[in-house]
Structure 1
Amino acid sequence: MHQSQTTRAHRLTVAILAASGMLTSLQFTLFVPSLGIMAETLEISANDATWIVTITLLTGTVATPVLTRMADMYGRRRLLLLSIGLLVSGALIAACGMTFAWVLVGRALQGFASSIVPIGMSLLREILPPQRAGSAVGLMSGTLGVGSAAGLLLSGALSESFGVAALFWFTVCAGLLAGTCMFFIVHETNQYAGGRFDFIGAMLLAVVLASALLMISKGGAWGWSSTAVLSLAVLGLLAFLVWVPHQLRHPQAVIDLRTAFRRPVFQTNLATFFAALGMFGNHLLTVHEVQAPQGIGAGLALGPAVAGLTMVPAALAMASLSPVAGMLLNRFEGRMVLALGSAVMALAFIFRFFVRDSLTGIIVGATLVGVGTALSFAAMPALIMSYVPRAQAAAANGINSLLRTLSGAVASAVFGLVVSTFAISSAGTEHIGEVGLSIAFAALASSCALAALLALLLPANSHVSEPKPLAQVKA
């Protein structure tokens, strides 16, 4: 009976953490299709409206390595509750305020919730038996892709039916439900060492990451040679040069650089970046492609709500295959599952390169990318956690999650560059022409193929010995 109760509690924990991860990941795409309506509602320019997405990416990028490190030090359940609380608080502030300033404040707070997925995966590794941990981590990792696709679907439906405030109220209700379940059901077993947190290192890292993300996301609009971009480059470089030696000396560093730059960890993170480009590129190009007016591409001219429906098969594929990917991880090496998923994504983009004249072809191509995404994203955290000590699991997964976020920012920036470079104007709106689509699909296929190659070159044995503490290394 006791074993049966434990199994049921484990299943509930996996379900709650997976649902929380999905809610978090859709925050980045929930607002993209509705930015035009948001600009009209808040009476701001289209350029200002992009900050509604950028501010969440910015705070999420900065907060993820900080909160995941704190989770390893002070308790993962505690930081999970804090993260979901900030997500709900941010949504509530934005929904009640509904001015540009209050929306930015709310969206900034929502970015802190990006740490839920890496912390949740490390908690699953802690509380579940080894034979079940792989499939559970795979399921939760797969929610990143499912949530991103679901955000595109929900965005148009909610904003067109109930107004843009409904996007925030949806998060408030879903977040309260997830947080309540997490408080009463999710538990942890380990005692954490605690210690003095490296606030100086965290602030320096925040400057480095904020400078990099602002350059990537706003460089095209501001001008790559503008004073603002060059100033950010100098500021970020100076902060980085101070941060690296500080991290190497600090006994409780925010990021253990010695572990992060071990070949298997570094190579897995690099493969993560290139594979994630495929997922984000698939979302951006699919919705953009089906909204193109007649005479451009497939010429389907779908509205935001209907355009979001084209991602439903991809979302279903990712949701259904995430548990399968977890089972594959229990049978095969993580590097092989990552390589397989990345290869499927590369082949899917080759398919999309040649077949993009019909709605059916677009949906099939996007769904195939979703299949590869489910396999790849399940393998990434499993590989990372097999390469690092258990005490650093959340922080290491936080870095891997950070690479996915940066990949999304790069994908958005490059997407904007492709739109402006290969634009065809129609009714005052710019759309990517045939040449631009061909270049985009070829580039994404190459990126995913590179991720597959990096995965195959990973060491066959993914288990490494625990590193000595820094104090012993110094001695």
Structure 2
Amino acid sequence: MEKCVDRHSPTTRPGGILSVLAAAGIVAALMQTIVVPLIGDLPKLLNTSASNASWVITATLLSAAVFTPIAGRLGDMYGKRRMLLLSCVPLIAGSAVCAMAASVAPMVIGRGLQGMGVGIVPLGISALRDLLPPERLGSSIALMSSSLGIGGALGLPISAAVAQNTSWHVLFWAAAVLGAMVAALIWLFIPGTAAKESAGRFDFLGALGLGIGLVCLLIAISKGATWGWASGTILGLFAAAIVALAAWGWWELHTPDPLVDLRVTVRPQVLLTNAASVVVGFAMYAQALILPQLLQLPEATGYGLGQSMLAMGLWMAPAGLMMMLVSPLGARLSAARGPKVTLLTGCLVIALGYASSIPLLGSTWGLLVVTLICNAGVGLGYGAIPALIMSAVPQSETAAANSFNTLMRSIGTSFAAAVVGMVLSQMSIQFGGHTLPSENGFRTGLLIGCGVALVAAAITAAIPYRRTSPTPIDSSTDPIEKVASRA
């Protein structure tokens, strides 16, 4: 077991801890977008069909969904530093497998391994609660949360530039090197964190049940448009997901050492925060799917902006940096008014960003403004969500609770991909012998994003987060509770 460190000790170097964990989160997020520039060429590169090549994306989604809550539970049981290091192993191995792949099967396996490393982000957020002094915690959580957006945004132009100027295999060798560097930094600079004194046994049956339910659900969502929403396969997958998740829920309520403590997750504050996270994940991802397509469609369509993949990535990159810039502002707002207010503000800003897209669709600068506004809202929201979760759960369950919340956001992004994909495929035009999304399709998708952001705001407003009068800071008080006391 890892020993608990003294978070007030000068040897813990809070700035260094935050820098390492934020870098780890950025690298984990890079793995999600590293393959985006290759999507159109994957069938040719891997000598396979477009349908088979799509599993390169789906495999990462599925493995991340299944293994993120498992990593969180193990982090609570055996120490977060240990699980951070272990999470780097499949990330490095998967990158190396992809770098050597010449066909679709090893590529899918490698991408699945990469997805197993996504648990680095919620583990890192939870480790901050154990390692940093109270006065640094709010801003550090906000910055760590924004690392997902920063890594995702920076990954587009970097991977596009590499893919256009050298072999695509170099992308994955570089990813393996970055993963190894992150593991070395964690080993050298992150102290051990507290593990449960009575860890109990790992819930293998619960992990299996959750995995089966999530795999069935996410395959149905991601493949519904391709296989047909009314097809027997998709309906069967949805039915299997319902049965598996219902059985999993029953088991979690009756086992003494559950993978996810559902009694904690049904607390109103946790339940509604997770519900808001699903909707915020949808709102975040919808614009990330729509705007790059608008940037790259030919100008001859009358609404496309004719940008190359590299140029599109460069236009989208500032959005990730915006998340980093607003994270300290969100931390100050949370300290002054509570994280519920910050999340509500973030949802309204996202809605404003979508609304601003209606008059700004015709230019690259206009879409840049839209992405900056939307991602400013995402930065506020993503920084506030972990604080809301951790203020409502025991410290011994922070990693599991954060990992489950990350899963909720991932489910939201999956639904966004399904809904946006369905809207754009149904509202299409014929252009140059190809079927392309119509301008009305894009506008409809953006209006849906605006409506979803407003739904997220309504859910957030219902979170029962009680504001009390400020109390003097006591070094023995849990830092998250100090933030809560000001809300």
Q: What TM-score do the two structures reach when normalised by structure 2? A: 0.91
Corresponding position of 2:186: 182
- How many residue pairs were aligned? 464
In 2, the alpha carbon distance for the partners of 1:301 and 1:404 equals 32
C-alpha displacement of 1:54: 0.5
Contact map agreement 1:293 1:426 (CA 8 A) in 2: no
In 1, the alpha carbon distance for the partners of 2:35 and 2:467 equals 39
Contact map agreement 1:338 1:375 (CA 8 A) in 2: yes
Contact map agreement 1:135 1:329 (CA 8 A) in 2: no
Corresponding position of 2:118: 114
Counterpart check, 1:383 vs 2:355: no
What's the secondary structure of 1:458's corresponding residue? coil
Higher mean C-alpha deviation, range 230-239 or range 60-69: 230-239
Corresponding position of 1:153: 157
Corresponding position of 2:72: 68
In 2, the alpha carbon distance for the partners of 1:249 and 1:364 equals 50
Percent of aligned pairs sharing the same letter: 34
Name structure 1 gaps, 5 residues minimum.
467-475
Corresponding position of 2:206: 201
In 1, the alpha carbon distance for the partners of 2:434 and 2:145 equals 36
In 2, the alpha carbon distance for the partners of 1:393 and 1:185 equals 21
In 2, the alpha carbon distance for the partners of 1:281 and 1:167 equals 26
Show CA shifts across 1:9-58 (max 9, x none). 22111111111111112222222232112222112222222111100000
Contact map agreement 1:149 1:283 (CA 8 A) in 2: no
Counterpart check, 1:9 vs 2:13: yes
Higher mean C-alpha deviation, range 260-269 or range 4-13: 4-13
Corresponding position of 1:302: 307
Name structure 2 gaps, 5 residues minimum.
1-5, 469-476, 479-487
Corresponding position of 1:471: none
Q: CA RMSD in A?
A: 2.0
Matches within 5 A, 1:45-124: 45-124=49-128
Counterpart check, 1:22 vs 2:32: no
What's the secondary structure of 2:301's corresponding residue? coil
Contact map agreement 2:76 2:398 (CA 8 A) in 1: yes
Contact map agreement 2:126 2:402 (CA 8 A) in 1: yes
Matches within 5 A, 1:324-343: 324-343=329-348
Contact map agreement 1:419 1:430 (CA 8 A) in 2: no
Contact map agreement 2:79 2:193 (CA 8 A) in 1: no
Q: What amino acid does structure 2 have at the position aligned with 1:215?
A: A
Q: What amino acid does structure 2 have at the position aligned with 1:160?
A: Q
Counterpart check, 1:127 vs 2:125: no
Change (3 A) 1:43 1:30: same
What's the secondary structure of 1:461's corresponding residue? coil
Change (3 A) 1:262 1:3: closer
C-alpha displacement of 1:109: 0.6
Corresponding position of 1:239: 244
Contact map agreement 2:298 2:305 (CA 8 A) in 1: yes
C-alpha displacement of 1:394: 0.6
Counterpart check, 1:142 vs 2:146: yes
Contact map agreement 2:143 2:327 (CA 8 A) in 1: yes
In 1, the alpha carbon distance for the partners of 2:302 and 2:449 equals 18
Change (3 A) 1:109 1:118: same
In 2, the alpha carbon distance for the partners of 1:436 and 1:3 equals 52
C-alpha displacement of 1:152: 2.2
Higher mean C-alpha deviation, range 299-308 or range 186-195: 186-195
Corresponding position of 1:32: 36
Matches within 5 A, 1:425-464: 425-461=430-466
Q: What TM-score do the two structures reach when normalised by structure 1? A: 0.93
Corresponding position of 1:170: 174
C-alpha displacement of 1:429: 4.3
Change (3 A) 1:198 1:441: same
In 1, the alpha carbon distance for the partners of 2:134 and 2:278 equals 27
Contact map agreement 2:72 2:400 (CA 8 A) in 1: yes
C-alpha displacement of 1:179: 0.8
C-alpha displacement of 1:229: 1.3
Show CA shifts across 1:239-284 (max 9, x none). 2232122111111101111111111111111111111212211211
Corresponding position of 1:44: 48
Contact map agreement 1:383 1:462 (CA 8 A) in 2: no
Contact map agreement 2:7 2:131 (CA 8 A) in 1: no
Corresponding position of 1:288: 293
In 1, the alpha carbon distance for the partners of 2:228 and 2:380 equals 38
